[in-house]
Structure 1
């Protein structure tokens, strides 16, 4: 067992207090929920590193596991190594991913004795982790890849076909999870590369949505440090997920988060955590404030004990548990290392009310964690979750290579399956009202004209490949003239009306470009607010990222037209960071003094070679 207690002080260079625990004469909150001054911190924590002593599971440890009255728990399979995530087919075949071994194992109980007696490796890939089933097709997630394969008649997999190998580089959180949504799209979680930092890839610390053929993907939600477990409420269709909180903030900060994950939402990481906590380690960039970032962040619905490490999550729809369990969710907690009193090492139940909203956690299976005279011990670290064909609950222990089975022995089993979430079309950004391009919208009417030019391309000419997302993806330099008297700011929109979305693909949203600015240099950063031009804010593109997103039409398409549209406004816009195009257009109404346009084209004949 590792057991260390560290004193950690976080100090800013912008302000130092006379004594620890205060900044500017104001007391610091021990939980780090709020900074006493902007860009100032002087917090001290007692940070523990406690890893309970590992005990090999056996009949005695199983007997110590506690479940509600009427339930029983037993080992279903042993000797499986790094047993991670689970998926079960309609015929009862169980598939297990193993990250350390880099494979997928097929398991079956062929003789019906309650134990897996058939096991076979059916796929291999380094870093194998996520798995999702769609009838006789499987989707798999490795570190940088999403793959698919047919499920053959004997349950083995056919050849693996890569759908993408361009997921962001891994770091601290290198497990990728994939699920198939009720809209037929793949949902992929990409954890952060660090405990808390500003990521270099906009796709890190996000939930991605990808088409099943791998040809398109967007950032569905962001600011999620590491959401391994997520599922759709069968009654409402809403997506819920458990996010791992930041470490090294003390025993109880931050709580693990249960989030209701919505399209286009940001959940705060790395700046805002929990229920409005402000991370003292990272200062907001370029004169943004914590209040700015908090206003743009979505709060979790529930919090759970800090550092418990949530893993796979699922809603229960099976036949074998009492009906009261249907529509509730289960989540595994692998267990803490960064808390003086260990947390997790359990399976919890999440209660949902009749309206489909989460209301409370409660213990479901405990007993892996034991307190002893010589310190804590643990006999299992739960990770994977699945409902077996008979309605029992399966979960994995990834340290000891065990799959456990929880079954109900009472007489009041539900008896019928709860239907899954309704099939629906994929969610999309707000559809424009009326004509497609911003210039054709009534919100942008103006009589005066701006002249917009670029040294990179002329009107109607091809945009250089370096400005496309197929290559460097840097924004082109732009300049303009003709601003009328009274101009207080500019808005910039870059749109592709030739996209297959049925409405413009938005490649750039920027506002509050200060008056007096007549040019933008090449390769502007993608931050939500820039240092230069000072105060310029950037919003959400159709891709889901912030800042410029270069042309990326499908390979072989005729040239797409990219409309750089610039608007001179009579005032600055009061909009939150990360606002989308529709919010910007609404805020512009009645404020546009002049406008101008530069149109370039781009086509990609073939995929460029890999870098």
Structure 2
């Protein structure tokens, strides 16, 4: 009798689990966006889904949500538009109504921010950072532009000027400027402002709560780091306020007369300290460019004695001033290193600091395409990545293109990231003019995922393409069976 009851319990639990799983699938299908991707549907890690929620945009880059739930998007060399979404939960979200023009200005190309109160909109061009009064109820700017930071470099080389307003230190605006060329000798002199990240205090006693006059990027501001080739993605870890950036490293790399650019040097995640006065010895120091770079595929590097992933090593032929010893002792090594040419363009942390999401735009300077994906990195909730600095499996891929051989021409290319009020993550694809939303099939918010316990499932791949199932959840069926078996074992056996 007891055994029969046990079987009935097992049958009930299994059926209930299957019904829940099927309901989730049916619900996802019923709510899926009706907007078809421009190219093939993305590959998505088990337990996740990614849908196109807006399209027909022109090179969408940086994004921020306003106080009314409108998504403000910089269209490169077009200006800023706003997209409104329906009020549906989960993956049912999609664009509602027409795309609204907010600022028509072809000089704007990437950077965007909103003040904490949502009434000041910031955006950048190659020449400077500007501010407008903004009304979220109408989706319109209510003033002309005011220059906040000027002399940011002009149209040479890397022209994006990424913006980040600190949440932990209100009023501090970070601006990242890249190099003027692949190997830019001007970056050897930190006073030029080339390849640097700086912070600017926007608070003042005047009516606009902005500085009385604009800053000069090269001459003013708090230096967080220099020798950063092109750190397009800048993020603030929400627990400690630590500042991280993700850097696009050099192309066509030579070492001891050999071209080793296919798999070296690695892209970087760098740590830059804090804005609140907490001491960090390396803040404002040299991160290596244009002489020192991070190792990725160590075996392909000539004269690689003692190198590990992330080791700073010298470009070209070593001499008295450019050598591995200087790179190791005189520059700041990355906190994490990624595969060469993946081109990270944004980094966003979840609210409790247990995950950092990174958009990888994808390669051009490599025979076999790499990148073209959205990945997540586990953090410890106290300000640091869980993976050691020598790891080559620090990230888990969540959304990727199914056939990299078709990239870049027939692939989405992730750029900007943005959280909405429901904890859903959005990313822009400039190559396809699309906005995607990334949601979890279990109904929990994307922002609660931490990449080690509930952030990805066994279908995800690590940085070396291998399964990272040991770090992530088991599948639904295994959970159901385990619960069923536990229910049986809890019954007395007579």
Pairwise same-fold verdict (TM > 0.5)? yes
Cross-structure match for 1:77 = 54
Corresponding residue to 1:362 among 376, 383, 396: 396
Quick check: 1:256 aligned with 2:267?
yes
Partner residue of 2:94?
115
- TM-score normalised per structure 2: 0.65
Change (3 A) 1:353 1:164: closer
Q: Report the alpha carbon displacement of residue 95 of structure 1 after superposing the two structures with TM.
A: 0.4
| Deviation string, structure 1 residues 151-184 (Cα, Å, up to 9, x no partner) | 1131211221112331123422111111112322
In 1, the alpha carbon distance for the partners of 2:39 and 2:47 equals 16
Q: 2:39·2:410 contact (CA, 8 Å) conserved in 1?
A: no
Alignment of 1:404-443 (within 5 A): 404-413=436-445
Please name the residue that 2:127 is paired with: 144
The residue matched to 1:378 in structure 2 has which SS? coil
1:222 maps to which residue? 226
State whether residues 347 and 359 of structure 2, in contact with CA within 8 Å, keep that contact through their aligned partners in structure 1: yes
Instruction: Name the counterpart of 1:20.
Output: none
* 1:185-222 Cα distance to aligned partner (Å, 9 max, x none): 11000001111131176201000111212445233211
Which structure 1 residue ranges, 4+ long, deviate > 6 Å from structure 2?
60-63, 282-285, 414-418
> What SS does structure 2 have at the residue aligned with 1:219?
strand
Matches within 5 A, 1:169-184: 169-181=154-166, 182-183=168-169, 184=171
SS in structure 1 at match of 2:44: coil
Q: Decide whether the 8 Å contact of 1:345 with 1:368 is kept in 2.
A: no
Q: Distance in 1 between matches of 2:378 and 2:449?
A: 18
**Residue of 99, 105, 110 corresponding to 1:129:** 110
Contact 1:187 1:210 survives alignment (8 Å): yes
Q: Does 1:394 align with 2:431?
A: no
Q: 1:117-172: per-residue Cα shift (whole Å, max 9, x none)?
A: 23211113314320011122111111111101111131211221112331123422
Distance in 1, matches of 2:225 and 2:404, equals 38
Q: Deviations over 1:351-390 (max 9, x none)?
A: 1124331122111111254447xx9863211111111222
Unpaired segments ≥5 residues, structure 2: 1-33, 203-210, 254-260, 274-282, 295-309, 388-393, 451-494
Task: Name 1:104's counterpart in structure 2.
Answer: 80
Q: Which structure is richer in relative contact order (CA contacts within 8 A, separation 6 or more)?
A: 2
Give the Cα separation in 1 of the matches to 2:402 and 2:381: 32
Q: Corresponding residue for 2:345?
A: 311
1:211 to 191, 198, 201: 201
C-alpha distance in 1, partners of 2:93/2:381?
Answer: 34
1:409 Cα deviation after fit: 2.8
Q: Distance in 2 between matches of 1:223 and 1:154?
A: 42
Map 1:442-591 to 2 at 5 A.
none
**Greater CA deviation, 231-240 or 350-359?**
350-359
Helix, strand or coil at the partner of 1:199: helix
Q: Secondary structure at the match of 1:311?
A: strand
Aligned to 2:139: 155
Structure 1 alignment gaps of length 5 or more: 1-56, 318-324, 419-611
How far did 1:392 drift?
1.3
1:235 to 227, 233, 239: 239
1:166 match: 151
Q: Distance in 2 between matches of 1:305 and 1:415?
A: 25
Contact 2:237 2:353 in 1 (8 A): no
Write the distance in 1 (CA, Å) between the matches of 2:333 and 2:410: 32
Q: For residues 306 and 80 of structure 1, what CA distance do their matches in structure 2 show?
A: 29
Structure number having the greater strand percentage: 1
Shift of 1:108: 0.7
TM-score normalised by L of structure 1: 0.53
Q: 1:124 to 1:276 in 2, by over 3 A?
A: same
Partner of 1:608: none
Q: Secondary structure at the match of 1:91?
A: coil
CA contact (8 A) 2:231 2:247 kept: yes
Look up the SS of the partner of 2:140 in the other structure: coil
SS at match of 1:406: strand
**Structure 1 residues 288, 337: CA separation in 2 closer, same or farther (over 3 Å shift)?**
closer
Aligned length: 351
Q: Deviations over 1:546-567 (max 9, x none)?
A: xxxxxxxxxxxxxxxxxxxxxx
Whether the 8 Å CA contact 2:293–2:315 is kept in 1: the answer is no
Change (3 A) 1:295 1:226: same
State how far apart, in whole Å, the 2-side matches of 1:282 and 1:187 are: 35
Q: CA deviation at 1:288?
A: 6.7
- Partners of 2:72 and 2:408 lie apart in 1 by 32
Q: Residues 26-105 of structure 1: matches in 2 within 5 Å?
A: 59=36, 64-101=41-78, 103-105=79-81
Tell me how far apart the structure 2 counterparts of residues 398 and 259 of structure 1 sit (CA, whole Å). 25
The equivalent of 1:350 in structure 2 is 377
Partner-residue secondary structure (3-state), 1:292: helix
* Structure 1 pair 58–345 and aligned structure 2 pair: CA distance change class (3 A): farther
In the TM superposition, residue 396 of structure 1 has moved relative to its aligned partner by: 0.8
State the alpha-carbon separation in 2 of the partners of residues 352 and 412 from structure 1: 19
Matched with 1:24 is: none
1:336 aligns to 2:363 (yes or no)? yes
2:287 is aligned with 1:267: yes
What is residue 482 of structure 2 aligned with on the other side? none
Q: Which residue of 2 aligns with 1:278?
A: 313
CA contact (8 A) 1:207 1:221 kept: yes
Task: Report what 1:595 is aligned to.
Answer: none
